[in-house]
Structure 1
């Protein structure tokens, strides 16, 4: 469903459902009905604790919302992304074979969205960037410029994991070719946060796969980057300026960076006034102007990819940690981040076991890589938009590797 176009005029910037959301709801309902019919406890105690940590904290924050619709919308969204869909994926993935199928599906979705993004760049039909309609956004449109970069990055992380530790040589070669292909649309997304997170995670995956091959693969990756950037013309002046701006965000920030810093400061100010439970779910926009400095602009420019020019209001701090802290307070932040930390620790322990046993290392690299990518990216982004449901699926894959008994069970036959 995430491969379907939403329409040029669609506005899904953090609110409103999408077909993918509806499908995720049906999947959750199916899992509930199946568990009731089988009269079984589908999750382990550890899984109940880790996935259940945000339930009470988010419910408390919902009580502080300024309206019932906002409370219900925020509650359902957080439960969907952090609890329900991850639990459903955890239940539906039976073994490492199923895990790899989902990982390849993410690679395929990334290639589809990425190919559309490259076409948009080459034909000038993408979202507006620096006065030209060249920003690759796939089917997500100009109102969700982070959507395609997120999907492509997920696919790239999965492809690298499969390429480093896949079961068959042909599978490894195919995965690495896919990974190299996904680098181009990721670059053309002009998303600095996605670039940073992906670069860190891919290097980490290579190192974790074995120091013996790390140097060789890093050299191959560097050579491929030189060919892509120099040989095929990916290194346009706009791309080079975007890359150089990463090191200049404090010395000479552009307006988007200034807006982000201003909203971060506003979010911290909100939390300082309401440290325990925040200002309430979906209440950041209502408190923004009273806590932000005059450096904040009226909104970001949105145009291209079939959409007419308009100003998009800044409704969140574009930092998941600060969004939770400002709207839900320290209680929810500790609960949500605590759950992620628990999955990261459990996943890393199983990665070490898989490395020693030489079984399931590809799944380990993918799961730990996806979670690490998401935790880094959340410093530059938050939940919202059509691609958010895919984040829930990623959390489900991570939860399966970290918490499911079948992840390392020797009784599970490799198909």
Structure 2
């Protein structure tokens, strides 16, 4: 019996460092406790603390991060520090600084350090898929039973357990799960694993459609196309054909293409000619953010400063707020406190310095990640490593979606973990990223559960 338990115990011990990260998507499957920081934020904070303790115990006398990783992940701190000092109040500065550090620095760094091997990466990616399937199932049930958030007078909008206060929460969870499933399906994994991942990707399409989130649709289409290109032409053609067939079945066979959905799709092409009020509000908020930046071009108005300066730069076309109703919430108006564009939010609050620092970090991750994936494909002369396809898909989705949304709500912590997966692929050692066995894996093969040295 011991010869059976020993390998299992070794696997459990090897996966132990990444389990606190897996707990983040698991907690996000539960209804949020409040509109602000929730259980997932607490779990992410505990994961960061656990990472610090692990680094102090295992890596004495060693640098936990390679110089390149420290520079790329630490670059946003420059703009954040300046914007925090320029905030309207110390409380606003500290609150904003803590949130940005959590999402773009601390949690991604913890993921980079706690993910030790490709199997850890896949485990965390599959947890994203699981969260997306659960939230998607809840969302489809909301649409079928008319218990979702209000949309055009009907409670049909799929929002999952996130509720109408965070209408992008389910769309984000489903989209990121779809990117993970698509990356695994396009990679060189076993036939069974690729088939399972492809099935999960197809299953995530209906709830994504029923989220009625145009930004999530566009980001998913762009990121999916990038994944297909990076996977290679042969696999791209096969997946494109399968996706087309799935679309025919979903729309024609199951009637996913409802009138409301068709109108939402058509509205994407009418954003300039005949925009609805939500598009008008978004354009007005974008204009306000640009106006704020023009008055404070270098360092912005400080963290959490956009709501205070919004009315002084917005036109009369801006409505008083968005309607919140359905999914267990009584009707209310939600104030528009952000420009719904991450780049313009950073530009208005952190100025050109903050945007260059934050966008520079993202650009470095994108360049290093794509270059490593292409290099791995050339060496293997086949489809790119699944970890690379997942990471590139996640990053492209986030960068595209940031053009239509920003951070906020309980689902934001999922963005932080996704950036951590991207950082692991782009900034971890060549041996880890290109699929070679690390020192820790060699040690495990000799019967020890000792981890690899510093990246």
Fold-level similarity (TM above 0.5): yes
The verdict on how the C-alpha distance between 1:361 and 1:349 changes in structure 2, with shifts beyond 3 A counting, is same
Partner of 1:18: 38
Partner of 1:400: 424
Shift of 1:409: 5.4
- Does the 8 A contact of 1:3 with 1:109 survive in 2? yes
1:305 and 2:332 aligned: no
- Does the 8 A contact of 2:128 with 2:173 survive in 1? yes
Partner of 1:333: 355
Per-residue CA deviations over 1:46-84 (Å, capped at 9, x if unaligned) read: 000000001121011011111121111100000000100
- How many Å separate the matches in 2 of 1:321 and 1:103? 26
In the alignment, which of 407, 410, 417 is matched to residue 386 of structure 1? 410
2:143 match: secondary structure: helix
In the alignment, which of 201, 204, 228 is matched to residue 179 of structure 1? 201
4+ aligned runs moved over 6 Å, structure 1: none
Give unpaired runs (5+ residues) of structure 1.
none
Partner of 1:29: 49
Per-residue CA deviations over 1:188-241 (Å, capped at 9, x if unaligned) read: 000000001101111221222111232232122112111101210111000000
Give unpaired runs (5+ residues) of structure 2.
1-26, 446-455
- How many Å separate the matches in 2 of 1:57 and 1:197? 26
Corresponding pairs, count: 409
In the alignment, which of 254, 262, 273 is matched to residue 240 of structure 1? 262
1:345 match: secondary structure: helix
Partner of 1:291: 313
Per-residue CA deviations over 1:237-267 (Å, capped at 9, x if unaligned) read: 0000000000000000000000000000000
When the two structures are superposed, what TM-score results if normalisation uses the length of structure 1?
Answer: 0.96
- How many Å separate the matches in 2 of 1:293 and 1:186? 33
In the alignment, which of 382, 391, 394 is matched to residue 367 of structure 1? 391
1:348 and 2:370 aligned: yes
In the alignment, which of 30, 43, 51 is matched to residue 4 of structure 1? 30
Partner of 1:275: 297
In the alignment, which of 423, 431, 437 is matched to residue 411 of structure 1? 437
- How many Å separate the matches in 2 of 1:235 and 1:354? 40
- How many Å separate the matches in 2 of 1:360 and 1:94? 20
- Does the 8 A contact of 1:35 with 1:41 survive in 2? no
- Does the 8 A contact of 2:369 with 2:422 survive in 1? yes
Partner of 2:211: 189
- Does the 8 A contact of 1:320 with 1:382 survive in 2? yes
1:138 and 2:160 aligned: yes
Partner of 2:283: 261
Which range moved further: 33-42 or 390-399? 33-42
Partner of 1:79: 101
- Does the 8 A contact of 2:214 with 2:268 survive in 1? yes
Partner of 2:7: none
Shift of 1:360: 6.2
In the alignment, which of 68, 75, 92 is matched to residue 70 of structure 1? 92
- How many Å separate the matches in 2 of 1:208 and 1:135? 33
1:54 and 2:76 aligned: yes
- How many Å separate the matches in 1 of 2:235 and 2:55? 44
- How many Å separate the matches in 1 of 2:261 and 2:350? 37
- How many Å separate the matches in 1 of 2:327 and 2:361? 37
Partner of 1:223: 245
- How many Å separate the matches in 2 of 1:3 and 1:135? 18
- How many Å separate the matches in 2 of 1:341 and 1:252? 34
CA RMSD of superposed structures (Å): 1.3
For residues 77-226 of structure 1, the aligned pairs below 5 Å read 77-226=99-248
Which range moved further: 59-68 or 204-213? 204-213
